[in-house]
Every structure is written in C-alpha cells, then in structure tokens.
C-alpha cells in the first residue's frame, strides 16, 4: 500500500470540513474521490499536501506519517499536486514553470530526463516553451500544470478538479493524458473530481465524500452502478 | 554651452544619488514581493551599513573591498535576524500587525543605537578611504567617488539580476512573490526563501549606506529616514514588487531631487519627491511597470 489515511479530521474554524476520513491508496492505481461542491474534496488534497493541518488522524505515506509536515518536505517525499484551477505562474514562461516544478530535485541528470520525458508526453508544451504561461489555452495550462507536477518526480500525483473550466473535448484529452501517465510511468494518483462520470470512468477505485464524510467506497465500476450515486452524481 | 554643461553635470550628480536610492529601493520591493510588507526598518539597515563601515575604516586599517564585504555580511545578518525575530512570528497575523511591527523595529533601531555608548545621536564625520579626485571631461566633471558609486552599483545590480533570473533560489523567490502557496507545492521552502530575500535586500542596503556616506560624509543614526522614504517612493514609482522598477524608480527620484536643487531651489528637493508620490498614487498607483491594480 502506498498511502493510508486514517481517521483524518480537518476543521476550518468551527466548521468540520473533513470528518474521520479513512482512505487507502494502492501502488499504481488511480483512485478517484467524488462528491458535491463543498463536500471536502479540496480539503483532503490540501491536507495531504501540508497546506492545511489536520485536527486529528494521520497520513502514512510509504510508512512515514506526513500529517503536519511542511509542504516542501512532503513534495520531497514524492507527492506532487496539480492544484485546483491549475494555478500556473502566468507571468513566467512555460519553461520556467516546468523548472519550478523540479525545484526539489537535486539530481541534475534526473531533472533533465524528467524534462525531456514531459516534453515528449506534451508536445504542445514543447512548441510554447518561451511563451508566457498566461497566454496558453485552458487545456494547455492544464497540461502545463500536470507537466509541472511531474517534474517533481512523484510517486503519488494528486489531481484536484482537472476538468474544471474545460470543454468536454479538452476534458477527454486531459483524462487520456492522466491514463497515459498512470499506465506508462506507473505513477499512482488521487483524482478529485466533481465530474463523477469522467472520474469513475478513469479510475480503478473510488470514494464518495459527502459533507466531509466518506459514505461509500469500492471499485469504480461498482460505484458507478450504485443507485444512490447514479441519482446524486451521474444524473440520469 | 554653459547650460548644456550645467545640465550634464546635474545628470551625473543625479545618477550618483539615484544609484544609491536604487540599491535601497530594491530591498523594499523584494521584501514587498515575498511578504507584501513595507519593511520600514529597511532605511535603518542602510544607516547600520554606514556605521559599520565607519567603524571598519576608522578603527581598522583594511582595504576598501573588505569594508564592503564585511559591511554587507553584517547588514545581511541584521536583515536576517530582524525577519526571524520580528516578522516571522507574525506570519499568520493580519497584515496591519506586520506593518506596525516594522515601524516599531525602525524606531527601536534608531533610538536604541542612538544611546551614548553606541552610535550616539551626534553627527559624525565619515572618514573617506581615499582622496577625492575630480576629472574634467570638458563638458562636465566626474569625481572618483561618482565612478566608484556607478561601478559598485552596476556590479551589485548585475549580481542581483543573475541571482534572481538565473539561479534556482532566485526563481524560487519570484515564485513565492507570485503565489506563495503554489510555490510551497513546488517543494520550495518558503521560510528559507523569505530569509534569503531579507539577506539580499539588507546586503544591498549596506552597500548603499557605504556609498552614500562616501558621497555625503556625515553620518547619524537618523540618516536612514529620508533616503529610506525616498527609496520607498522610488519602489512605488517603478511598481512595488518589480525589481527593474525599483532601479528605474531610484534613478528617477535621484535625478528629480538633484534637478530641483540645481534649477529651482534645494528647499524644494524633498517636497518634489512627495509630489511625485502624490502623482503616482493619483494617476497610476501600480507604478510605471505595474499591471492593473486588483480591486481589494
């Protein structure tokens, strides 16, 4: 098992955003977390990355408890993130954005390899290396955010709403990249999505989050046919 | 001919003052970039630089480049300590607390260092480490002091720009100033980057302190106040948070001050800087290189 989140609770002031969540991530899988707006999906990502400190519980990653560690330490342990809304550096070039993603990699040869590999995966970024990242299209920005996260050489990649603000066609393209990266590089992923349909389609297992609690978990194929999920998230 | 030569002479003098303002303004703008803080104690670091150099020159017989090096190390350490002691504990406090603390640090440095057994509140003559020489270039004259100021400022700027644009630590600094949270998610150590920013800014202010004292050889614990304010205005003029803006702003402020002294009256030389501030805030609050200001 790659990561085990046990009894994780997070408070924002008096509001409990995440309540006693227990999640397991297996080596090499794509795990999706679906739920409505405000269900606690982004809180989960922000807690794993160390931006938010948990009130209770722990997060074991490769046997190390990372809950409460500084974000840059967690990145160095091998968890990187494609943040919600992409959050690329718009005034920096595509190349500089990618270089920043590799900030924590001290091995120069490895950094070079990652860079070459990422440009091979995303040829559209290669054509735009000198361009300011802010001038890219939404889909290209999402590719850049993914490339930037991959520059950190992750064992676990967190994707926070990768379909946000993208057209259905571009969303499909992005999800095919997610699949490709998972298959070819064997990188495990947690995929947090409001677009439950896409998320369940492209993951092995899924957790359903409601008001900060895990209400359902299992293989994505099963979750997809669960009547409650169909009614609430898949909208027939 | 007479007026042209007078004009050129004022330009050279303006560059001399502007170079020093640029060095100080960089510290304001860099710290603002990473912390969104106007570090009011920055002018006092400039003063500290002048005093450290004064002691080094008058008490020890060491070459001038060592005076620069030791002073920079000392002011950098001061900048680092001030950030750690005064600002870091307030990382999650409201912005206004940080601002008030900066004013407090500034007053503390000025009044603590003006104690009798420290720098005192008196004006002290700054020992120039060399004789002043004037070179007559027919249209205007230039002194060896001015040449040193230009050279040291140019070297400092080149090194700074190399640091910021070519090294990973400089890139980290820029990333932190754009988006602190995402910078942390890139594996950047935010606290270390903020410390580095203070260290670099304070080292530049130290250099500015030495250069200023060589040009205007009277030092005093309160000497940092006016150049500090003017350099801050320079940073605002160029667009606060923008590195090259601070350089241009410093030069414009220095030029304006010298031109007003030279063509109007030196009575107005401080006032005109504040008029510039009013105009910037009125017409383009984001400064020369600033983008549109986001609505708060």
Q: Residue A147: CB partners within 8 Å, gap ≥ 6?
A: A97, A98, A101, A118, A119, A121, A122, A125
Average pLDDT along chain A: 95
Q: Model confidence at A135, in pLDDT bands (50, 70, 90)? A: very high
Contact A119, A126 (CB under 8 A): yes
Question: Residues A52-76: pLDDT tens digits?
Answer: 999 999 999 999 999 989 999 999 9
Question: Residues B179-235: pLDDT tens digits?
Answer: 999 999 999 999 999 999 999 999 999 999 999 999 999 999 999 999 999 999 999
More confident residue, B245 or A232: B245
Q: Would you call B174 exposed, middle or buried from its count of C-beta atoms within 10 A (0-12, 13-18, 19+)?
A: buried
**The predicted structure's pLDDT at residue B105:** 98
| Residue B230, in any domain of the structure | no
| Residue B171, in any domain of the structure | yes
**The predicted structure's pLDDT at residue B209:** 98
**Which residues on A lie below 8 Å from B172 (Cβ)?**
100, 103
* Pairwise CB contact (< 8 Å): A83 & B186: no
Question: Residues B265-290: pLDDT tens digits?
Answer: 999 999 999 999 999 999 999 999 98
| Residue B73, in any domain of the structure | yes
Q: Model confidence at B296, in pLDDT bands (50, 70, 90)? A: very low
Q: Does B171 touch chain A (CB under 8 A)?
A: yes
**Which residues on B lie below 8 Å from A148 (Cβ)?**
186
Question: Residues B183-199: pLDDT tens digits?
Answer: 999 999 999 999 999 99
B233-260: average pLDDT: 97
Q: What is the enclosing helix (H) or strand (E) of B72?
A: helix B64-82
| Residue B207, in any domain of the structure | yes
A156-178: average pLDDT: 95
| Residue B34, in any domain of the structure | yes
B101-122: average pLDDT: 97
**The predicted structure's pLDDT at residue B66:** 96
| Residue B248, in any domain of the structure | no
Contact B209, B253 (CB under 8 A): no
Number of domains in chain B: 1
Percent of chain A with pLDDT over 90: 92
Q: Model confidence at B293, in pLDDT bands (50, 70, 90)? A: low
Question: What is the token pair recorded at A84?
Answer: 């919600």
pLDDT(B175) > 50 = yes
Which among B295, B169, B185, B189 has a CA at the least distance from the CA of A85?
B185
pLDDT(B120) > 70 = yes
CA B98 to CA B95: how far, in whole Å? Answer: 5
**The predicted structure's pLDDT at residue A236:** 56
CATH number given to A1-78+183-236: 3.40.50.300
Domain that holds residue B25: 2-223
* Pairwise CB contact (< 8 Å): A51 & B185: yes
User: Which one of A50, A70, A75 has the shortest CB-CB distance to B186?
Assistant: A75
**The predicted structure's pLDDT at residue B292:** 59
Q: Does A104 touch chain B (CB under 8 A)?
A: yes
| Residue B254, in any domain of the structure | no
B254-258: average pLDDT: 97
* Pairwise CB contact (< 8 Å): A104 & B186: yes
């Amino acid at each position: 098992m790659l990561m085990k989140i046990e009894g994780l609770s997070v408070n924002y002031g008096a509001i409990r955003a995440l309540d006693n969540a227990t999640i397991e991530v297996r080596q090499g899988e794509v795990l999706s977390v679906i739920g409505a707006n405000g269900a606690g999906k982004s809180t989960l990502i922000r807690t794993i990355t160390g931006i938010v400190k948990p009130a209770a519980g722990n997060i074991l990653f490769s046997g190390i408890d990372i809950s409460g560690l500084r974000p840059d330490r967690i990145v160095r342990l091998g968890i990187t993130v494609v943040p919600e809304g992409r959050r690329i550096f718009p005034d920096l070039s595509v190349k500089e954005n990618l270089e920043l993603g590799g900030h924590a990699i001290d091995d120069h040869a490895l950094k070079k390899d990652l860079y070459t590999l990422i440009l091979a995966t995303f040829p559209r970024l290669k054509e735009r290396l000198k361009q300011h990242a802010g001038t890219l299209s939404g889909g290209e920005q999402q590719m850049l955010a993914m490339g930037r996260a991959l520059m950190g050489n992750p064992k676990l990649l967190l994707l926070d709403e990768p379909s946000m603000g993208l057209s259905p066609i571009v969303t499909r393209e992005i999800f095919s990249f997610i699949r490709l990266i998972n298959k070819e590089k064997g990188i495990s992923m947690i995929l947090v999505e409001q677009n439950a349909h896409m998320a369940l389609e492209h993951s092995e297992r899924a957790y359903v989050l409601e008001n900060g609690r895990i209400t359902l978990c299992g293989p994505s194929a099963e979750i997809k046919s669960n009547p409650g999920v169909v009614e609430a998230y898949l909208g027939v | 001919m007479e007026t042209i030569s007078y004009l050129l002479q004022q330009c050279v003098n303006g560059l001399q003052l502007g170079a020093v303002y640029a060095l100080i303004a960089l510290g304001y703008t860099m710290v603002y970039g990473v912390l969104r803080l106007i570090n009011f104690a920055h002018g006092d670091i400039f003063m500290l630089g002048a005093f450290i150099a004064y002691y080094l020159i008058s008490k020890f017989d060491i070459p001038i480049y060592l005076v620069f090096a030791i002073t920079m190390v000392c002011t950098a350490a001061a900048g680092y300590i001030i950030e750690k002691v005064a600002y870091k504990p307030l990382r999650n406090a409201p912005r206004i607390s940080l601002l008030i603390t900066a004013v407090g640090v500034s007053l503390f440095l000025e009044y603590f260092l003006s104690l009798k057994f420290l720098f005192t509140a008196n004006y002290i003559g700054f020992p120039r480490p060399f004789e002043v020489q004037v070179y007559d270039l027919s249209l205007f004259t230039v002194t060896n002091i001015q040449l040193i100021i230009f050279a040291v400022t140019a070297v400092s700027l080149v090194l700074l720009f190399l640091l910021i644009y070519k090294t990973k630590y400089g890139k980290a600094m820029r990333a932190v100033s754009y988006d602190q949270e995402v910078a942390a998610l890139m594996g950047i150590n935010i606290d270390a980057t903020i410390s580095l920013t203070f260290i670099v800014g304070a080292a530049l202010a130290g250099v500015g302190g030495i250069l200023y004292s060589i040009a205007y050889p009277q030092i005093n614990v309160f000497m940092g106040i006016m150049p500090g304010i003017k350099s801050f205005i320079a940073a605002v003029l160029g667009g606060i948070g923008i590195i090259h803006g601070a350089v241009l702003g410093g030069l414009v402020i220095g030029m304006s001050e010298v031109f007003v002294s030279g063509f109007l009256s030196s009575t107005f030389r401080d006032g005109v800087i504040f008029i510039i501030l009013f105009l910037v805030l009125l017409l383009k609050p984001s400064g020369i290189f600033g983008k549109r200001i986001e609505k708060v």
